[in-house]
Structure 1
Amino acid sequence: MYTFILNNREIKTEADMNLLEFLREKQNLTSVKNGCSEGACGACTIIVNGRTMRACVLTIARIQGKSILTLEGLSKREKEVFAYSFAEAGAVQCGFCIPGMVVSAKALIDKNSSPTSKDVKAAIRGNICRCTGYVKIEKAVLMAAEILRENKDIPKEDESGIVGERFHRIDAFKKTLGIAEYTDDIKVDGMLYGSALRTKYPRALIKKIDISKALAHPDVEVVLTAKDIPGKRYIGHLVQDWPALIDIGEETRYIGDAIALVAARTKAALKEGLELIEVDYEELIPVTSPEEALREGAPKIHENGNILDEEVLKRGNAEEAIKNSKYVVTYRYSTPFTEHAFLEPECAIGVPDGDGIFVYTGGQSVYDEKREIMNLLGLEKDKVRIKSAYVGGGFGGKEDMSVQHHAALLAYKAKKPVKVTLSRKESIKVHPKRHAMEMKFTLACDENGKLTGMKATIISDSGAYASLGGPVLQRACTHAAGPYNYENVDIVGRSIYTNNPPGGAFRGFGVTQSAFAIESNLNELARKVGISPWKIRYINAIEPGQVLPNGQIADDGTAFKETLMAVKEEYYKYVNSTNEYVGIASAMKNSGVGVGVPDIGRCRLTILDGKVHIRSSAACIGQGIGTVETQILCKATGISPELVVVDQPDTDITPDSGTTTASRQTVFTGEAVHIVSKKLKSALKGKNLEDLEGRDFYGEYSFKTDPIGSTKPNPVSHIAYGFATQLVVLDEKGLLKKVIASHDIGRAINPTTVEGQIEGGVVMGLGYALTEDYPLKKCIPAAKFGTLGLFRSVNVPEIQSVIIGKNTSDLAYGAKGVGEIVCVPTAPAVQQAYYEFDGIFRTKLPLDNTAYRKSKNARR
């Protein structure tokens, strides 16, 4: 018998087990999150005898006789203070890491009631946040410490919720206190546990699958193979090339391929059942790179060959322009695969619903999931319902099916609810990553630094499956020339299949890669001309009415030059410093899917019990779309935010608002809310909400764009572009000192949220530049969560956000979306800062031989 104190209650238990599992499964404590199960992320932070520890690496036996405190055990006063401080500071985005942060803060404040910023950084260094950049979390902890120390009253907030207000996020309190339900927090009566048996080799022929021993296990309910799939076996966003299960006689294509599925009554039985499946493999040599895949005689990864997509973007005569130019710069660049490292591992629960299926999920589009599950199960649309729980980060990594389809299939076959959750090890193997790219860029200018032309070749490693490899390549190409006023461009891109993990959507969507190349080239070109990198940008910066390199005419809301002017004084201050080194880079990034693809935002407003329910399937993955919707509604109608409820995405009640991707939701769904809110306002004339009980209002917004390669003189590639300039400053030791991020975001619906997006994106960009990698050994990931090189609180320099908002368009009140561009210019700015520091022009990410990384890039 083991005895210990948990949140001031005596607990006795006979079984020794993992403490995290005990707290979540036996005590139903949802604040203690399962982020990595490796002790690396801090999401399961608890206090043991006054010290912070990680529940995932402890057992019941190790806490015998000790006192355990989780967030649930904090006093009512402490909970109120932390909830207010984290909301007021804007410290909450996806929210998955926040309860662990609060517990670390509690432990710090108990020992030191007047902590400094340095103290806070040290206290939370074991807690990873992938969304916020830590800046606002640090501010929140200092605020909470002050309120508790001085016994201050919590201020009463008088918020109108209108556009432009620093309005508390609608989900901040629930997320901070650990009561917001993510999918793995949900339990269903009679629920089984499911998982997939993954291939042993990235490329192998499956000769035989024997499931008989697994089926004989007394606690295994069902074992499925490819032949048990009732509908279409191949899934995929745009290209259906990804089998839900590999069949006998087929080759595996990457280490994450699923061979069989098991559902069992307990997690232990599930593990045993998977181990009992016998697979006869014929191991084959994997194709490890695009170079290998393009060689004559290379194995065909897919029936149609190893080339997924080719894109060509040409305007003017680049070759002639470059030949006649005064200065020319050519370099080859290499960027790695990158892991999203969202804090919440993938989880879904399939629940039988008559002769159909209901799925709890946590992805980036319930309608994408519905479509793929309908196809897999061979069901009509009225037989499949998807409802989203809270989503613990995404960054593009939760656009593809990972567990949703497997949970649905297992539940459909077992006729019982089934939860499927990826371990962090599985997640690192399975879901698509940021594409690795090899690029050659040439950029030219005249004697004054005026750009004349550019050429680029981009080779993208799409890995084993298409995912969004085609659109990512398109964005890399359409943005490859940068946000500058010249039209002689020659860009050729190819996306290639290999046996590596798939490349897919990732914040920046291909532009992080090509911007690293073009911006680094531009800085070197400025050096040749003899002008500053700031000046070469300013004299070439696109202005309203001018033509972008892709042919689109910049609209009146274009404020690229304003982002440059906002950092000019600081830039030249650091340029003239004797012991500080500054790098600069700029970028543009589209809002909306664009390039001719239909793009529609939709919203319903339903009046229930005297409140307005906003119903949209737009997934909040940390960016705060529900808060944006609320503020737009309040602005358009004058209704108090206290009378607004944002319902979770649910295919039964929320219309299809498209995927949360391409910085599109604020613009498209935001405008749909704007449109429908005007209808509600009209209906309210002379009435109140109670008079409209049960009424339903609908609005949608769409925008037509032109496909890539359009023959129009000035095709419209995207609905809008955001622009940015970032400065990165190093000290005399080559350590990060400061980042200034100046962003044209159209108009800030919520300035606090925009700042949080900028800060989080900058930190992600710093990691991409300096430390993050996803090394592969013969196509197999070689990293754990703790060795991915993610930035922690102690790595983060001062970040100054500058919001430029001159857009006066009525569309979504002028907002453009900011989620992706924030991490695009960071890496080339870091590259130049180090070039100034030591004179080495680096062309590979993460940058080698810096204060943050001494070893050479891992070979892929």
Structure 2
Amino acid sequence: MYRFIVNSKQIETSEDKKLLDFLRDDLRLTSVKDGCSEGACGTCMVLVDGRAMKTCVLKTSKVEGKNIITVEGISDKERDAYAWAFSEAGAVQCGFCIPGMVISAKGLLDKNLNPTKKEVKKALNGNVCRCTGYAKIEEAILMVAKILREDIEVPKVECKGLVGQNMHRVDAKDKTLGTGEYVGDLYVDGMLYGSAFRTKYPRALVKSIDISKAVNHPGVECIVLAKDIPGKRNLGHIIQDWPALIAEGEETRYIGDSLALVAATSKKVLKEALELIKVEYEELNAITSPEMAMKEDAPKIHPNGNILKKEVLSRGNVDEIIAKSKYVVTKKYSTPFTEHAFLEPESALSMPDENGVIIYTGSQGIYDEQREVSDLLGIEPEKVRVISKYVGGGFGGKEDMSVQHHAALLAYLTKKPVKVTLTRQESINIHPKRHATEMEFTTACDENGKLTAMKATIIADTGAYASLGGPVLQRLCTHAAGPYNYQNTHVEGTAVYTNNPPAGAFRGFGVTQSAFATECNLNLLAKMVGISQWEIRYKNAILPGQVLANGQIADETTALKETLEAVKEEYDKHEYVGVSCAFKNSGIGVGLPDIGRCILSVIDGKVHIRTSAACIGQGMGTVTTQVVCETTGLTPDVIIVDSPDTAKTPNSGTTTASRQTVFTGEATRLAALKLKKALNSKSLYELNEQDFYAEYSGITDCMGSDKPNPKSHIAYGYATQVVVLDEKGNVTKVLAAHDVGKAINPKNVEGQIEGGVVMGLGYALTENFILENGIPKSKFGTLGLLRAPKVPKIQPIVIENSKENLAYGAKGVGEIVVIPTAPAVQGAYYKLDGKFRTKLPLENTAYKK
């Protein structure tokens, strides 16, 4: 028997188990999050005898006689202080890491109520945040220290919720204190635990699957094979090429392929059952690079071959112009796969419901899941209800099916609730990554540095399945020339299947790769011309009314030059400094349906905002609240943001392409105008049970349109970032000037910029997803994620240049923030040591030898 104290209560248990599992599964303490279970992320942090410790590396036997405190057990004054400070500072985005941050902060402040910023950073070294960039978390902790040190009252929150105000996020308090629910926090009576048996090999013939021992193991409720699937077996966003289960006699395509599903009464039984499944394989040579896949004699990974998609975009007479240009640069570039590393591993809970299923999920698009699960089960979409809980980060990595379809299939067949949660290593192995690319870019300019032409060849490793590889390739190509005023371009892009993990959506959606190449070429041209990196960009920056290299006319909100002007003084101050520009679309564009929808439902004097737009940390609920308040004059206290739910909220599309603030924000504004008109003659109580619906559809032109100036996307954001190095090559400061149109919530926008810059620094300097023969060798702790002590000062500069009515002028900012950072770092190192680096992460730096 082990005895210890948890939040002032004496606890006894006879089971020696992982403390994390005991606190979560037995005591149901939801502030203790399971982010990695390997001691690397800090989401499961608690105080043990006053010391911040990770519960995933402790067992109940190791805390015998000790005093444990979780966020649930801190004092009321502290709870109020942390909830206010983290809200006020804008320190909460997806929120999954925040309770662990609170515990690390308390461990520090219990000993030192007047810490320096350096001491705060050091206290957070065991905690990873993938959203915020840490700065606002550090600011919040210093706010809490002041409140506790000076014993002052926690300030009251007063905000009208208008557009442009720093309104507290509507979910910040729940996320800070750990009371907000993610799917992993859900438990229901009779719940089974599910998981998949996955292949050992990236490419192998599955000769037989023997489940005889596993199916008879006590506590095993159900084992499902490919032949048991009642509907369509192949799933996918656009191309349905991804089997929910691989059948006997078929080849596996990557290490994440599932061969069988198991549902069991406990985690322990589930693990034992999976170990009892025996599979006979014939291992085959894996195709682990596009070069291998494109050989004439290469085995076909899919029936139609190994080429997923080709794109050719051409404007002007490129070869002739390049031949006549004064300066020409041709360079080859390599960028790696990158792991999203969101803090919340994928989880879904599904329950049977009247010939269908209910799925609780945490993803980027509930209607995508409804469609794909209904196909899998062979039932009408209306019989699949999908409800989103909080989403612990996404960055594109939660657009594809991961666990939702497996949980739903098991629940549908067993007629019992089933929860499927990936381990962190499963998550790393399975979900799509950022595409690895090989690129050759040629860029030309005249004697004064005016750009004349460019041509590019891009090969993208799309891995085993299509995912969103086709659209990512399109963005790679459509943005390849950068946000500059020249018209002669030729881009050829190819996405190639391999036996590597799939590649799909990742923050920046392909533009991170092509921008690295095109911006680095500009650094060389600037040196050849004899002008600065800043000047060559300023000479060529697109202006309103000019034509982008993809043919679209830049609209009047275009503010690239303003972003360049905002960083010039800082750029001129330093010797070892790099600069980079970027542009990025808001909305799916290229002629595809792109619709935001919103219902405002009046219930008992409150306005319920109903939209399926997933909040993955960007603060969508807060954005829509402020849009409603601005439009109607109502105050935030009468606004409720309902969770995305296919039974209640209209289809607002996937949270992708920096689209939701623009598209669903505009739909919300239009619905609010209808509500405002109704309020002219009636009160909210008189409008009880009335709905106000609106939608906004963005009309664009398809790829390859023969229009002289096709409209590729509804809007573009523009950005310039400056990176400063010291003489040892350490990044000391980053300026990030972003044209956001209109900041609905400026502090939220700053947080997006800070988090994106840190992600971009990781992409440039430290992060790498290691594959050996198609098998991931990275763990969460070895991905190279930057932690608080290593993050330099980041100065966001928000440029607002829009007076449009569309979503009050807002442009998406979620994706563009990560794009300019890596080439700016490359440019800074080029000035530091004269070495021109062409591969990410950059080699021979202070961060990577």
TM-score range relative to shorter protein: over 0.9
- Across the two proteins, how many residue pairs are aligned to each other? 849
Selected match of 1:588 from 565, 583, 586: 583
1:686: Cα distance to partner? 2.6
Q: Secondary structure at the match of 1:692?
A: coil
Alignment of 1:291-690 (within 5 A): 291-575=291-575, 581-690=576-685
Normalising by the residue count of structure 2, what TM-score does the alignment of the two structures yield?
Answer: 1.00
Q: Which residue of 1 aligns with 2:202?
A: 202
Q: Secondary structure at the match of 1:586?
A: strand
Q: Secondary structure at the match of 1:303?
A: coil
1:381: Cα distance to partner? 1.8
Q: Which deviates further from its counterpart, 207-216 or 341-350? A: 207-216
Q: Which residue of 2 aligns with 1:35?
A: 35
Q: Secondary structure at the match of 2:197?
A: strand
Amino acid at match of 2:520: S
Q: Which residue of 2 aligns with 1:231?
A: 231
1:288: Cα distance to partner? 0.6
Q: Secondary structure at the match of 1:103?
A: helix
Q: Secondary structure at the match of 2:110?
A: helix
1:264: Cα distance to partner? 0.1
Q: Which deviates further from its counterpart, 45-54 or 399-408? A: 45-54
Write the distance in 1 (CA, Å) between the matches of 2:813 and 2:382.
35
Q: Secondary structure at the match of 2:20?
A: helix
Q: Deviations over 1:545-572 (max 9, x none)?
A: 0000000000000000000000111111
Write the distance in 2 (CA, Å) between the matches of 1:737 and 1:15.
49
Normalising by the residue count of structure 1, what TM-score does the alignment of the two structures yield?
Answer: 0.98
1:708: Cα distance to partner? 1.4
1:709: Cα distance to partner? 1.2
Write the distance in 2 (CA, Å) between the matches of 1:360 and 1:451.
51
Q: Deviations over 1:684-724 (max 9, x none)?
A: 11321001010011000001111111111000000000000
Write the distance in 1 (CA, Å) between the matches of 2:623 and 2:50.
40
1:386: Cα distance to partner? 0.3
Selected match of 1:806 from 801, 812, 836: 801
Q: Which residue of 1 aligns with 2:838?
A: 843
Q: Secondary structure at the match of 2:685?
A: helix
Q: Secondary structure at the match of 1:739?
A: strand
Amino acid at match of 1:632: V
Write the distance in 2 (CA, Å) between the matches of 1:269 and 1:401.
25
Q: Which residue of 1 aligns with 2:153?
A: 153
Q: Which residue of 2 aligns with 1:815?
A: 810
1:300: Cα distance to partner? 0.4
Write the distance in 2 (CA, Å) between the matches of 1:62 and 1:153.
38
1:65: Cα distance to partner? 0.8
Write the distance in 1 (CA, Å) between the matches of 2:176 and 2:596.
29
1:251: Cα distance to partner? 0.2
Q: Secondary structure at the match of 1:803?
A: strand
Amino acid at match of 1:163: V
Write the distance in 1 (CA, Å) between the matches of 2:422 and 2:70.
24
Q: Which residue of 2 aligns with 1:214?
A: 214
Q: Which residue of 1 aligns with 2:242?
A: 242
Amino acid at match of 2:570: E
Is 2:775 the counterpart of 1:775? no
Write the distance in 1 (CA, Å) between the matches of 2:762 and 2:292.
29
1:189: Cα distance to partner? 1.2
1:8: Cα distance to partner? 1.0
1:305: Cα distance to partner? 0.3
Q: Deviations over 1:300-342 (max 9, x none)?
A: 0000000000001100011111100000011000000000000
Write the distance in 2 (CA, Å) between the matches of 1:466 and 1:317.
33
Selected match of 2:789 from 784, 791, 794: 794
Amino acid at match of 2:765: L
Q: Which residue of 2 aligns with 1:140?
A: 140
1:155: Cα distance to partner? 1.4
Identical pairs, percent: 68
Q: Which residue of 2 aligns with 1:253?
A: 253
Alignment of 1:75-114 (within 5 A): 75-114=75-114
Write the distance in 2 (CA, Å) between the matches of 1:570 and 1:119.
27
Q: Deviations over 1:413-454 (max 9, x none)?
A: 111000000000100000000000000000000000000000
Alignment of 1:56-71 (within 5 A): 56-71=56-71
1:157: Cα distance to partner? 2.0
Write the distance in 1 (CA, Å) between the matches of 2:534 and 2:778.
38
Write the distance in 2 (CA, Å) between the matches of 1:48 and 1:135.
26
Q: Secondary structure at the match of 1:111?
A: coil
After the TM superposition, list the runs of 4 or more consecutive aligned residues in structure 1 that deviate by more than 6 angstroms. Answer: none
Amino acid at match of 1:593: I
Write the distance in 2 (CA, Å) between the matches of 1:610 and 1:272.
53
Q: Secondary structure at the match of 2:10?
A: strand
Amino acid at match of 1:132: T
Q: Which residue of 1 aligns with 2:273?
A: 273
Amino acid at match of 2:579: I
Selected match of 1:742 from 722, 737, 744: 737
Note the residue ranges of structure 2 that are not aligned, 5 or more in a row.
none
Q: Which residue of 1 aligns with 2:761?
A: 766
Amino acid at match of 1:531: I
Q: Secondary structure at the match of 1:482?
A: coil
Write the distance in 1 (CA, Å) between the matches of 2:281 and 2:411.
28
Amino acid at match of 2:155: P
Q: Which residue of 2 aligns with 1:858?
A: none
Amino acid at match of 2:686: D
Q: Which residue of 1 aligns with 2:192?
A: 192
Q: Which residue of 1 aligns with 2:44?
A: 44
Write the distance in 1 (CA, Å) between the matches of 2:12 and 2:384.
43
Q: Deviations over 1:760-791 (max 9, x none)?
A: 00000000000000010000001000000001
Write the distance in 2 (CA, Å) between the matches of 1:686 and 1:714.
46
Selected match of 1:730 from 706, 713, 725: 725
Write the distance in 1 (CA, Å) between the matches of 2:548 and 2:309.
24
Q: Secondary structure at the match of 1:565?
A: helix
Amino acid at match of 2:745: N
Write the distance in 2 (CA, Å) between the matches of 1:136 and 1:726.
19
Write the distance in 1 (CA, Å) between the matches of 2:452 and 2:329.
12
Q: Deviations over 1:150-175 (max 9, x none)?
A: 01111122200010001100000000
Q: Which deviates further from its counterpart, 268-277 or 95-104? A: 268-277
Alignment of 1:687-706 (within 5 A): 687-706=682-701
Q: Secondary structure at the match of 1:690?
A: coil
Write the distance in 2 (CA, Å) between the matches of 1:561 and 1:703.
26
Q: Which residue of 2 aligns with 1:857?
A: none
Note the residue ranges of structure 1 that are not aligned, 5 or more in a row.
576-580, 855-860
Write the distance in 2 (CA, Å) between the matches of 1:681 and 1:608.
16
Q: Which residue of 1 aligns with 2:131?
A: 131
Q: Which residue of 2 aligns with 1:173?
A: 173
Q: Secondary structure at the match of 2:34?
A: coil
Write the distance in 2 (CA, Å) between the matches of 1:772 and 1:720.
31
